[in-house]
Amino acid sequence: MDAGREKGLTIRGDGPSADVSAFRALHDVTKHLHASLDLTETLDRVASGLVSSTSFRVAALSLYRPDGFFEVVSVEGSAEGRAALLGTHVPLEEWKRIEAAAEPQGDSIYFLDSRHAPNWADGIVTHRLELAAGDHLDAWLPDDGLFAVLTAPSGECVGLLSVDDPVDGRRPTPAQIEILELFADHAAIAIQHAHLHSTLRLQQAELRHAATHDTLTGIANRALLNSEGRRMAAVPDSNLAVVAIDLDDFKSVNDSAGHQAGDEVLAIFAKRLLRVLRPNDLLARVGGDEFVLAINERKDVHALVHSLVGRVEETARQPIRTTNGLHRVGASIGSAVSATPCDFGAMLREADAQMYERKRTRRARRRRRLVAQGR
């Protein structure tokens, strides 16, 4: 009996036992494909199934990347091959050269006959082994290669599947070609599922971000402020500070230069605020030109808030250059501090009230100054 068949690794011809072995491996891949969306793990199952149910000792899978390279992501059956190939990259142009020299063996299978194309490059997605050339016409030579192109339903190439080092040293039979095509189809489906899942997760993340962040400035919106603020207020044995910020003279920017200039001022001001804050401080835009900052600290926050208010006022005084010119605004600021747990909504109302009182005081002071100047 053939040594390879004793190991359960060989498919030569079209015998039913060979089909059963291969289809059991395919069934395992299919179950895993439906149970997991982990692409690398699924492709490892594909490569492992090929090695366990065919006459090839080595199987490798490569993914096509947007930058025009194939990256080897799974190698099964040879520690030497895995060490040499895993993580390597091959340009699409190199594969095109191999494909042009190879013999089509079906819709997506290519056999590279090194006797007819001896100058192909090493290491495209297969592992070059030092095998002795056999005397048979169908002997597998060291530079031979068998590849399956993995295609998406749209027809685009998403990867390559290759096998090497046949147990019996022979070229592939029609049955082996058919089995390789089936495994290639499963690998392509796994890649497509992973891409769809990745796209779906990205879309969901974008929707979650849009629901909790201000579209103009990219910082938190009122919904995120309320949820995170309540969470901060519920932290025991801590201190919460809420700072309300409202830009002064912002209406004059919109009136004189238009809403596009106003939007630029808001976006630039938000970026400047982020630079003077700490990574864990929460900054939100809650209205047209209104911002709120929430800080949670174990230690006393009164000195921190005093310092922060000074930095915010200095930031607001800095001129802001937009595409429409230079603009100057200021900021009215109110704050509230409390030990936790506390009522976040009440603290926000207290900070707002203080901020609006300061704004009214500044406006009254300005009116008195203008009257004194006779304007």
Over residues 26-45, the pLDDT tens digits come to: 556 566 555 555 677 778 88
Is residue 291 within 8 Å of residue 270, measured between CB atoms? yes
Strand, helix or coil at 116? coil
- Which pLDDT tens digit goes with each residue over 222-241? 999 999 999 999 999 999 99
pLDDT at 123: 43
pLDDT at 9 over 90: no
Is residue 113 within 8 Å of residue 138, measured between CB atoms? no
CATH superfamily of 3-196: GAF domain (3.30.450.40)
Distance from C-alpha of 263 to C-alpha of 286, rounded to nearest angstrom:
14
pLDDT at 191: 82
pLDDT at 189: 83
pLDDT at 49: 79
Distance from C-alpha of 52 to C-alpha of 177, rounded to nearest angstrom:
16
Return the higher-pLDDT residue of 312 and 18. 312
Confidence band of 168 (pLDDT split at 50, 70, 90) = confident
pLDDT at 1 over 90: no
Question: What mean pLDDT comes out for the span 155-164?
Answer: 90
Is residue 42 within 8 Å of residue 31, measured between CB atoms? no
Strand, helix or coil at 43? helix
pLDDT at 367 over 70: yes
Distance from C-alpha of 125 to C-alpha of 139, rounded to nearest angstrom:
21
CATH topology of domain 222-367: Alpha-Beta Plaits (3.30.70)
Q: pLDDT above 90 covers what percent of the chain?
A: 46
Locate CATH 3.30.70.270 in the chain.
Answer: 222-367
- Which pLDDT tens digit goes with each residue over 183-205? 888 888 888 887 787 788 889 98
Confidence band of 362 (pLDDT split at 50, 70, 90) = confident
Confidence band of 131 (pLDDT split at 50, 70, 90) = very low
Query: β-strands 282-285, 239-248: how paired?
Result: unpaired
What is the pTM assigned to this prediction? 0.61
Locate CATH 3.30.450.40 in the chain.
Answer: 3-196
pLDDT at 258: 92
Confidence band of 24 (pLDDT split at 50, 70, 90) = low
